[in-house]
Amino acid sequence: MCENWSDLLVIYSREGGQLELEKQREYITHVAQKIGVSETRSRLGIMDGKSGNWLLEMTNVSNIADWGSNFTTDTQYNSGGSGGDINLILDKMRVYYSSFYKTMNSTADNATANAQVVVWNVPKNAPDFNNVDLQRTILEFRLAFPNVYFLFVGNNRGAYEPVLKDPEEDFFKLDTSNPELFADTLSKRICQIPTVFVYPACDTQNVNFTNYNEQSHKFTGYISPNYTSYAMIAPHNFRFSYRVKLKVIELTVKVLLNPTSSFINFCVHEKVLANILLHTTSASLTE
């Protein structure tokens, strides 16, 4: 199970026959279990990759095993035709993440949030990523939501390399012969995606912006013995900062400062990023 908590948004593909679609649902169920989707930890949402409609709105699932059993065998998800509309899906995701971040950034006592991960089961025929309008749509999405991390599942990695941060690490070919083993590989990558560190005072849309008490903004978290936890402070959180101070007590910690943006291919002017890697043999930390 992940040490980090995640909000996992899965883009569901309608391509393939009944067996392929069942295996897709089976691996999604295994991934949800492995990353700790539950009533109090990670959350799961599933969006139709053709229509952009929610099959499952982002939520905590109290009994993921029971839900997964029903989801895997539900035949209503066995049809829909091939292909998908990347512009439509990005637009649907923009609506969701706009609402999510607006709520998160306006909560004065909210110092951290789950990692934001999209697992996209992509069509076999990739869109034309040389299209200027599509490039602009992708760029605008990256700029608006720098903490949202994409992992792709499909058959044609080369076609999707232009939109992947790390093609070697972030593209996965589905193994229908062993969905659980595939889910194990994918979930390990999801567990490496950093959680979101929130600094509300840097958001001018925050209703508490003008009277925000910086000194009271603290993050307290817990790390299990011999586990590694990841947190990311995105570049836009430093636009008013002349000095950044990280203080960790009650444990041994390694801090990795990465001077380049996670999405450098899409956002070349953002050169500042702090990726904080925490590894400890203690059980708690304060930051």
- 3-state per-residue secondary structure call for 144-175: HCCCEEEEEECCCHHHHHHHCCCHHHHEECCC
- Do residues 104 and 12 both lie within one domain? yes
186 and 230 part of one domain: no
Could you tell me if residue 1 is inside a domain? no
The pTM of this model reads 0.79
Instruction: Identify the pLDDT of residue 254.
Output: 58
Same domain, 245 and 183: no
Q: Does 120 fall in a domain?
A: yes
- C-beta of residue 71 within 8 angstroms of C-beta of residue 40: no
Count of structural domains within the chain = 2
Predicted pLDDT of residue 275: 40
Same domain, 167 and 34: yes
Please tell me the predicted confidence (pLDDT) of residue 260.
44
pLDDT of residue 75: 78
What are the angstrom distances between the C-alpha of 42 and each of 90, 133, 254?
Answer: 22, 34, 25
What pLDDT, on a 0 to 100 scale, did the predictor assign at position 219? 62
pLDDT of 244 reads 63
**pLDDT at position 8:** 96
* CB 190 within 8 Å of CB 151: yes
pLDDT of residue 210: 59
Domain boundary among 190, 209, 240: 190
Q: What are the backbone angles phi and psi of residue 42, rounded to the nearest 5°?
A: -70, 160
| pLDDT attached to residue 182 | 94
**In Å, how far are 9, 71, 169, 226, 237 from 55, measured between CA atoms?**
11, 10, 27, 37, 33
64 and 167 fall within a common domain: yes
Residue 182 sits in the same domain as residue 212? no
Same domain for 186 and 214, yes or no, is no
pLDDT, block means (10 residues), the chain with 287 residues: 86 86 91 91 92 93 87 78 81 94 70 86 89 92 89 91 88 89 94 78 58 61 66 63 62 54 34 38 35
Are 65 and 104 in contact, with CB atoms under 8 Å apart? no
Are 28 and 113 in the same domain? yes
| Last-in-domain residue among 190, 209, 236 | 190
Domain that holds residue 279: 199-286
The one-character DSSP state at 93 is H
